[in-house]
Structure 1
Amino acid sequence: MRLSRILAGGAGLSIALTGRDGRYLKTFSEDLIGLDFSWDRKRLTEDFLLIEPENGNIGIEKVREIEAHFLHRPPAGRRKFILITECERMTLESANALLKILEEPPDFGRIILNTTSWNSLLATIRSRAIPISIEVPDTLMEEMKRKYRDKIVDIYAGSLEDYSILSYFMDLDTEALTVDALALPEGEDGVEYLEDVQNEDPIFKIKRRKFYMNLIKRFITESDFFALAGKIAPWFGGAGSFEKCRLLVFYSRGLLRDLLVVSKTSLWSRVVNIDLLEWLMEYREGPNTLEDFLWCDRFLRRRTASLNPTLVFFRAMYSVRRNFNRDSAGGKMNA
């Protein structure tokens, strides 16, 4: 494998794996490290360091861990590895501190950056890491569609957005996936799916996604926007507020993207939310759809969690609300 040869050669080295799916980048990176014949998995805790965001950021204390990791040579293997996921979420302070390490990594050091937003990194960091584009192979989604056939509707979008979900369903027996397994409780009893932002169970994540999408659709279809917003906004405060808002903006961006696809093209095969395709076709984009899509995109690249969740919530829901207009057959939505 060409990448493994790059990592094996030369002195200290930094590469940046870029792509649309952060979870796939992480899995790919870990597999890549495992291919190094000189690396001893028995020394996982000593020779490998994983750096991930905490509370929305990668702060300066994480860079201090990197410095400590590289203080000593590996006693057995020839290399030490550091994997930094979602590195676009480094604070400015931590990014500048990392820059010093990237300039002069130890000869045994290998740093792998993962990012879904390469251009948002500091130019000085981009100039010191070799960028390599890594995407989830299209063949995996095609194989999954063949495997699940009619059942694919409920799991397609989540699998396309999150490699851990795709991987789970690729391994699952198709008979184990039932409609009941993915059903949400009636009414607002599904708020638990909003509250638990740390749950990594694939079935739970599919249900959580469905809950968010149902919530977003309510803001598009119900007549009294502000009454609904006043009732729902408190759900996005408290513990995990930043991650809840990120998910809300993430799903809003996807829905706005699908609206642009349906409004401007006939390429409906590119719609992500295929379970909502029939519903989407009742609407046409508004004058601010692209602007609001780009706002969502910028928000998802934010490096800080010090945001007002109520303001983020209102901005996200107003974005989808004002952009979904009924087509000529259905009349106009009220603003």
Structure 2
Amino acid sequence: MNNSFFYDTIKKIESKIDVIKASSMCFVSEDNFILHNFRDELINSVSAFNKLDTLIIKPSGGNIKIEQVRDAEEFLMYKPNYAKVKVVFFEDMESLNIEAANAALKLIEEPPQYALVFGTTTRWNYLLPTLKSRFIRYDLSIPSTLIENVNSKYEEIAIYLNFFRHYDLGVSLFLNDENTDVSSIKEIVERIVSFSAKNVDELLNNFKLPLDLSENKLKFALSYYKLWDILINSNDKEFFYLIKNIAQIKNDVENLSFLRNISALGAILLRDSMVFLNSSKWKYFWNNSLVYFFGLNEHAVNLEQIKDTVSYLNRMSTMRLANFNFEMEIFTHFLRIKRCFK
């Protein structure tokens, strides 16, 4: 537990259990990985809690429904059997549909004296004002020690790795893990960075890797940005030929997951392009390597096109429905981003 990035926060909550009982707290972060890991550590580490007296409510079919709120109410009707405090944990509070949100208001405002109601969200501003007013908000940030550790461990190649704290914190934790081989990661990064148009097939093969492994997520993300390095410098004929090849991986990837991932990565690319327009300070960039890797400093940008495309990418990265044409979305994705650069 002492090695936990959330140790101080959890200890602070534990020390105030008697004060915060019968209240509700919502943990807010830009990264669901942070929230999920924090939830698990909180439940497992606080001595006043017990899994047998904890109910975790997760979205079902994209929403938290009123029936699930009723389950939480029933769960809290009785005092804890194994713990000092009974806990209800709502994941992704923004997923409460209107009916469920209204039903949850009283539960969140007045939990029983022996209970705590927790919630998590990456989209605080999407919650109903009536919900927000009933929660104690607690912001969870990315631990600075994690960033410092990765920078120290990987030295000159860390510039290619730090954006994972915004894209997928799980990869950052994998990179920080003492069992992760630095030389192997360095070899992967240097190999992908050195690719040219002749290596497009290898880049596409990295898109087909199963993303349940952090190392594969690293290869996927770096290959996406390297592909843009090639695409942005290609003529129109070469560009459309390459996009056609990308669309042909349809049968080798989970389509919705693939589109969500490239949308999230594309949004980071365009976000940093906007930052580049307004600042030269490295601390404001999410992916410092894009200045060199992609060559942001070598391209003029269309600000209005960027704003419109970022909005589109954000919608795609949170898309839940699978009713789409994969090939068409691939062409749309790359064409939209291409038009952002002159």
- Deviation for aligned residue 1:52: 4.3
- Of 31, 37, 53, the residue aligned with 1:27 is 37
User: In 1, are the aligned partners of 2:174 and 2:180 still within 8 Å (CA)?
Assistant: no
State the shift of 1:104 in Å: 4.6
Which of 263, 266, 279 lines up with 2:280 in the alignment? 266
Partner SS for 1:274: coil
Deviations 1:186-233 (A, max 9, x none): 53355565456651x221221121233344455544424555445434
Aligned-pair distance for 1:128?
A: 2.1
Conservation of the 8 A alpha-carbon contact between 2:58 and 2:64 = no
Structure 2 contact 53–81 (Cα < 8 Å) conserved: no
Q: CA deviation at 1:137?
A: 2.7
Asked whether 1:188 is paired with 2:201, we answer: yes
CA distance in 1, matches of 2:253, 2:177: 33
Instruction: Name the SS for the 1:38 alignment partner.
Output: coil
* Partner residue, 1:328: none
Query: What are the equivalent positions in structure 2 for 1:113-262 lying under 5 Å apart?
Result: 113-172=119-178, 176-178=182-184, 179-181=186-188, 186-189=199-202, 191=204, 193-195=206-208, 199=212, 201-217=213-229, 219-222=231-234, 223-224=236-237, 228-233=242-247, 235=249, 240-262=254-276
Give the structure-2-normalised TM-score: 0.76
Asked if 1:277 corresponds to 2:295, the answer is: no
State how far apart, in whole Å, the 2-side matches of 1:299 and 1:70 are. 37
Aligned-partner SS, 1:285: coil
Q: In structure 2, do the counterparts of structure 1 residues 228 and 268 end up closer, same or farther at CA, with 3 Å as the change threshold? A: same
Give the deviation of 1:87 after TM superposition.
3.1
Change (3 A) 1:174 1:242: closer
Q: 1:148 to 1:218 in 2, by over 3 A?
A: closer
* TM-score, structure 1 as length reference: 0.77
CA distance 1:49–1:271, change in 2 (3 Å): same
CA contact (8 A) 2:24 2:109 kept: no
Describe the shift of the 1:150–1:110 C-alpha distance in structure 2 as closer, same or farther (beyond 3 A): same
Asked if 1 retains the 8 angstrom alpha-carbon contact of 2:211 and 2:217, the reply is: no
Task: Tell me the distance in 2 between the aligned counterparts of 1:47 and 1:71.
Answer: 12
Please tell me whether residue 58 in structure 1 is matched to residue 63 in structure 2: yes
* Offset of residue 30 of structure 1: 2.9
Deviation at 1:149, TM superposition (A): 0.8
Q: Write the distance in 2 (CA, Å) between the matches of 1:150 and 1:35.
A: 36
1:91/1:247 CA distance change after superposition, 3 Å: farther
Task: Write the deviation string for residues 274-320 of structure 1: whole angstroms up to 9, x where unpaired.
Answer: 33322222122213223333443455466x43553646544433331
1:17 aligns with 2:10: no
Unmatched runs of 5 consecutive residues or more in structure 1: 326-335
| CA-to-aligned-CA distance 1:233-290 (integer Å, 9 cap, x gap) | 4646898433322212111110001111223221134322233322222122213223
Q: Which residue of 1 aligns with 2:7?
A: none
| 1:323 paired to 2:340 | yes
Alignment gaps of 5+ in structure 2: 1-10
